[in-house]
Amino acid sequence: MKIARVLVACLIVFSVLFGCKKKEGAMLYESGRKETVPAPVQEVPKDMLATQQAFTNLVKSVTPSVVNISTVGRKKLVRPFFESSPFFEEFFGEGGRPQYRRESSLGSGFIVNKEGYIVTNDHVVRDAETIQVKLSNESVYTGKVIGSDPKTDIAVIKINAKEPLPAAVLGDSNKLQVGQWAIAIGNPFGLDRTVTVGVISATGRSNMGIETYEDFIQTDASINPGNSGGPLLNVYGEVIGINTAIVAAGQGIGFAIPVNMAKQVVTQLISKGNVSRGWLGVSIQSVTQEMANSFGLPKAYGALVNDVVPGGPAAKAGIMQGDVITGFAGTTVKDVRQLQRLVGDTPIGKKVEVELYRDGKQLKVFVITTSAESTPAQSQRPTEREAGVLGLSVEELGAEMRARGISGVVVSDLEPGGIAEESGIQRGDIIVSVNQRKVRNLAEYQRAMKGAGNRGAVALLVKRGSASIYFALKLR
């Protein structure tokens, strides 16, 4: 019995010691089987694998040319309409001097040559005091604005890199077709080099109220804040557009500037820091269906000439007030914005064929465009450029209209969704009085408008053709 008890005790001690040793050596026990788990889908279609690989290859090739842009700048605080309020100085300082706040923003861009020139959106770098550019290899450089063009929302910045930079390859946006693949790369919400994929949803989008010259590519490739200025690519990795805007109320609706529009803008910005555009020397307005019917046009298209600047290119070519411009340089003119874009894209000094509709007949004349910036005739017609609280811009009437005894100011532009546009005022309308106070020129219009806001509403008497119409605009 004693021997048995000793054996049992030894076994217990041995078991305890063995168990402690195992715990010290390993807490986990792994299976000795080395089998791999099969994929849920064993046979993937080859075309799907090829498409996936194509996107992967594209991103690897193009991403090095995409940069992240961060800026810090000053933004002017907007003065309230009620600046006469006793609380005004509390917000805007003594004497109502303008106040600013520091503001940072994020955007994207892409390198266009090895010397460090980078294309982005004007609104990404506008009013920036400092610009930081981060490359795909995490190198950070200080950027400098070489030139910008607010009318197309394009800017060029430059960095002084230590080594040659990988440049993006520009494609041909004129060859785009709806339904083609579209790939966007950018910095949405500060997330570095995010890639989204979709299709070209539409081309030639205009009248969006985003820029002066619009010919947008629409895509459902996700574009979010921070994507601005980044490239939109085709399946060859070529840049076909510059990601610019989104529709905040919807999903899958983004807009990009066509690269063909950007090419000539970027070239001028790099060479001279600004953009020169062609100028016709006409004031134009849209053709409504009612106007088309009265003119005998088969449909509402083209741009109606409501004034011609004496001595301007159009006047020299024989274009007259009341003509409808239906074609320019071989392209059918759909509306006012398209004509503005076509003329603006025309090189200075180029002879261009213009198609007109006059008195029921189609005519052709030849115009030699001049520079809008260098034409003295423009300075003879002052313009109230700021849309202001009413959301409209006006300019002086032309000499021909003044000679006919017409006085007032002409509506040259409308802010999309602004008070004036919603009230029914149109480009080309002539404002002859403000709150029953006659205005004969721009100076009188400005004086009348200064005191108009205190009433909370403005009554405008507008002359449209042979009709006189009153518009009551309630200030928001």
> H/E/C letters for each residue in 40-90?
CCCCCCHHHHHHHHHHHHHHHHHHHHEEEEEEEEEEECCCCCCCCCCCHHH
pLDDT band at 144 (very low <50, low <70, confident <90, very high): very high
List, for residues 243-293, the tens digit of each pLDDT value.
Answer: 988 776 667 788 999 999 999 899 999 998 888 888 888 878 778 787 787
Global pTM value:
0.65
Collapsed DSSP state (helix, strand, coil) of residue 197: strand
Contact predicate 171/153, CB 8 Å? no
Provide φ and ψ at 392, rounded to 5°. -140, 150
Q: What is the DSSP secondary structure assignment for residue 218, as one 8-state letter?
A: E
pLDDT at residue 308, rounded to an integer? 84
pLDDT greater than 90 at residue 111: yes
434: CB partners within 8 A, 6+ apart: 445, 448, 449, 452, 458, 459, 460
pLDDT at residue 305, rounded to an integer? 84
pLDDT band at 389 (very low <50, low <70, confident <90, very high): low
CA dihedral 227, 229, 230, 232 (to 10 degrees): 100
* 336-374 burial code (b ≥16 CB/10 A, e <16): bbbbbbbbbbbeeeeebebbbbeeeeeeebebebbebee
List, for residues 150-184, the tens digit of each pLDDT value.
Answer: 888 999 999 998 888 999 999 999 999 999 999 99
Contact predicate 420/414, CB 8 Å? yes
User: Could you give all domains of the chain from N- to C-terminal order, each with its CATH number?
Assistant: 64-158 (2.40.10.10), 173-272 (2.40.10.10), 278-371 (2.30.42.10), 382-474 (2.30.42.10)
The answer to whether 222 is a known catalytic residue is no
From the candidates 228, 283, 286, 393, which is the catalytic residue? 228
From the candidates 123, 148, 222, 433, which is the catalytic residue? 123
Question: How many Å apart are CA 323 and CA 297, to the nearest integer?
Answer: 12
From the candidates 153, 215, 307, 323, which is the catalytic residue? 153
Question: How many Å apart are CA 111 and CA 207, to the nearest integer?
Answer: 30
pLDDT greater than 80 at residue 6: no
Residue type, 340: Q
The answer to whether 153 is a known catalytic residue is yes
The answer to whether 127 is a known catalytic residue is no
Structure tokens, 429: 């309308």
Q: Which residues pair with 327 in a beta bridge?
A: 332, 355
* 265-284 burial code (b ≥16 CB/10 A, e <16): bbebbbeeeebebbbbbbbb
pLDDT band at 242 (very low <50, low <70, confident <90, very high): very high
DSSP secondary structure letters along 275-327: ---EE--EEEEE--HHHHHHHT-SSS-SEEEEEE-TTSHHHHHT--TT-EEEE
